[in-house]
Amino acid sequence: MNILIVENEALVALQIESFVIAAGHAVVGIADTVASALALVTGQRPDIALVDMNLAEGDNGLTLAAHLHAMAIPVLLATGNCPTETPGNVAVGCLSKPFDCGELLNALRIVDQITAGTLVDPPPLSLRLFAQVA
Amino acid sequence: MTTHRLDLAADALAPDAPTMPSQPMPNPRALQDVVWAREDFLNQLGEGVIIADATGAITFVNSCAKELHGQAHLGVEPGNYSATYNLLTMDGEPYPDDLLPLSRAVLTGEVVIDERWRIRRADGSEILAIGSARPMNNEHGKQVGSVLIIRDDTRRHADEQALQELVRTKDMLLHEVNHRVKNSLQLVTSLLSLQAMRVDEAEVRAALNEASQRVAVVARIHQRLYTASEHDRVAIGALLREVAEDNIAAHAQDGRITLICACENPVILLDQAIPLALCVSELLVNAIKYSVAGRESGTIRLHVASTGDGNVHVAIEDDGAGLPAGFDPNRSTGLGMKIVQVLTRQLRAELTVDSVAGRTCFTIGFTPHPLS
């Protein structure tokens, strides 16, 4: 999978990058604001965007999720306190922070399966799926 | 309610005959009407108004002031205000007469703003008053009396006390949280060091010790937060100096490294202080390594300065052999340099390196977020 990482804590982004690369995925880029993330998806198309709710410079991850959703890029949110729903169902699900390598890879795989319509496994507790797919 | 006539004001209104010989005397009946109209007006005010004549004898107490005191007495002299009206200091002591705002206005012509005191009413209940006293001068600048305006401050004062208590509690909790965070992080550093001591492979041991040191940098910041009782900001000069001392103690034998600090102490917010301190720590470890590589001793210089444009510059300099030719801090693949790269990017900082034999200097320049 090609993954876009949007995260305001640089070290967390670095960790996510190393997890997904070690698992054989590719990272499209790392961004920490709405504008820098949108700049990364012009001309290339990630299979999934992992988006933190709180971004740098006061940006909101949901704002970015709405943009990405409009471009039909599946969004997996990540935050300490997952919302029960997102306005307009702009994200597929939310991964509860902190997460470990296994939880992250599992969540990415499930979002991929949902997008492809092949979900069979029940989602783990650390992943909250939103109404559009549940 | 008894009406307390505003006789003093009538005196004040009377023209000063010797200086205005050509003015006709106003009709005394008309003048009395004016005075009573003013009195009615003053009785409708939500503030207490007490008026004294030039000698300080109380000549008027409006309805609100009477309510606040639970009583009203006219003719009271400055030496008897406190005892007659049961006025107490905030500590509950009888209020010294000569220090009362109205006395000060009467006796020295002073303007006293927003003084606070307690009033024990006739029925034994107590209120907190806030009041201001001013001299009243006639058109020639001669003081003809004084006026005291008072309000009941009991509820506002109680609200303020409750708010202060809330702020104290919040401060205490934040202090406690930072203390616990520091303790927990220190526990993590201990666990990592313990584990390091148990392994035989030097490389694994070094890696665990490095991890322990990185966690210690964050613990150090939380310690600074609770010792300074500033929960969201930290003075970075002193912090970075400590980080440098910790790193030197951990990575070099006693006396091999001399640390020279030229550090201003700008205060920055925590969300920038943590990445900055981690960055500087990595650069210091690097500098320590290069400084003593292949020799007995070396010197590390740490500079922290606020520049005129509001930016902060932090420089880490060593006197070692210099970086390998072609070294680019933004392309280096070691974890230390990778951490420096991503954190300087998070800080929106500019990282520059200047290296020749005998002097390598890394500089981080960034714009601190405005302090709220």
What does the pLDDT read at residue A57? 92
Residue of B nearest to A58 (CA): B369
Give the pairing of strands A48-52 and A75-79.
parallel
**Which residues of chain B does A11 touch, with a Cβ-Cβ cutoff of 8 Å?**
278, 339, 342-343
Mutation for testing the A interface, residue in B339, B342, B351, B372 having most A CBs under 10 Å: B342
To the nearest whole Å, the CA of B361 is away from the closest chain A CA by 24
To the nearest whole Å, the CA of A88 is away from the closest chain B CA by 30
Q: Which of residues 249-268 of B touch A (CB under 8 A)?
A: none
What's the rounded Cα separation, in Å, for the pair B245 and B263?
Answer: 14
The angle, 0 to 180 degrees and rounded to 10, between the axes of the packed helices B202-227 and B270-291 is: 140
CA atoms within 13 A on the CB side of B159: 4
Of A11, A32, A56, which is closest to B339 when you measure between CB atoms?
A: A11
* Helix, strand, coil tally for chain B in percent (to 5): 45, 25, 30
Mutation for testing the A interface, residue in B269, B340, B346 having most A CBs under 10 Å: B346
Nearest residue to B112 (alpha-carbon basis) of B132, B129, B89: B132
**Which residues of chain A does B339 touch, with a Cβ-Cβ cutoff of 8 Å?**
11, 14
Nearest residue to B364 (alpha-carbon basis) of B291, B282, B249: B282
**Which residues of chain B does A14 touch, with a Cβ-Cβ cutoff of 8 Å?**
338-339, 342
pTM: 0.69
DSSP 8-state secondary structure symbol assigned to residue B236: H
To the nearest whole Å, the CA of A29 is away from the closest chain B CA by 13
What does the pLDDT read at residue B8? 46
ipTM of predicted complex:
0.82
Q: Does B342 touch chain A (CB under 8 A)?
A: yes
A32/B342 Cβ within 8 A:
no
Residue of A nearest to B271 (CA): A9
**Which residues of chain A does B269 touch, with a Cβ-Cβ cutoff of 8 Å?**
none
Cβ-Cβ pairs closer than 8 A, A with B, add up to 17
Phi, psi (degrees; rounded to nearest 5) at B58: -75, 125
H/E segment holding residue B313:
strand B312-318
A8/B339 Cβ within 8 A:
no
B345/A10 Cβ within 8 A:
yes
Each residue's pLDDT expressed in tens, for chain B with a length of 372 residues: 444 555 544 444 444 445 445 556 667 677 777 777 788 889 999 999 999 999 999 999 999 999 999 999 999 999 999 999 999 999 999 999 999 999 999 999 999 999 999 999 988 899 999 999 999 999 998 999 999 999 999 999 999 999 999 999 988 888 888 889 999 999 999 999 999 999 999 999 999 999 999 999 899 888 888 877 778 899 999 999 999 998 898 887 778 899 999 999 999 999 999 999 999 999 999 898 877 777 888 999 999 999 989 999 999 999 988 888 888 877 887 889 999 999 999 999 999 999 888 899 999 999 999 987
B338/A10 Cβ within 8 A:
no
Q: Mention every residue, 6+ apart, whose C-beta is less than 8 A from residue B345.
A: A10
What's the rounded Cα separation, in Å, for the pair B228 and B182?
Answer: 14
DSSP 8-state secondary structure symbol assigned to residue B94: B
What's the rounded Cα separation, in Å, for the pair A132 and B58?
Answer: 79
What does the pLDDT read at residue A134? 40
Q: Does B346 touch chain A (CB under 8 A)?
A: yes
**Which residues of chain B does A9 touch, with a Cβ-Cβ cutoff of 8 Å?**
346
What does the pLDDT read at residue A126? 76
Nearest residue to B253 (alpha-carbon basis) of B292, B306, B197: B292
What does the pLDDT read at residue A87? 84
What's the rounded Cα separation, in Å, for the pair A2 and A4?
Answer: 7
The token duo for B165 is 């208590």
**Which residues of chain A does B343 touch, with a Cβ-Cβ cutoff of 8 Å?**
10-11
Location of structure tokens 């902060």: B312
What does the pLDDT read at residue A39? 96
**Which residues of chain A does B346 touch, with a Cβ-Cβ cutoff of 8 Å?**
8-10, 32, 56
To the nearest whole Å, the CA of A78 is away from the closest chain B CA by 18
Residue of A nearest to B274 (CA): A9
DSSP 8-state secondary structure symbol assigned to residue B260: E
What does the pLDDT read at residue B10? 46
* Beta pairing partners, B306: B312
B342/A14 Cβ within 8 A:
yes
CA atoms within 13 A on the CB side of B166: 6
Positions of chain A with pLDDT under 50: 133-134
How many Å separate Cα B171 from the centre of its chain?
13
A56/B342 Cβ within 8 A:
no
DSSP B5-25: --HHHHHHHS--GGG-TTSPP
Nearest residue to A130 (alpha-carbon basis) of A82, A80, A63: A82
What does the pLDDT read at residue B212? 92
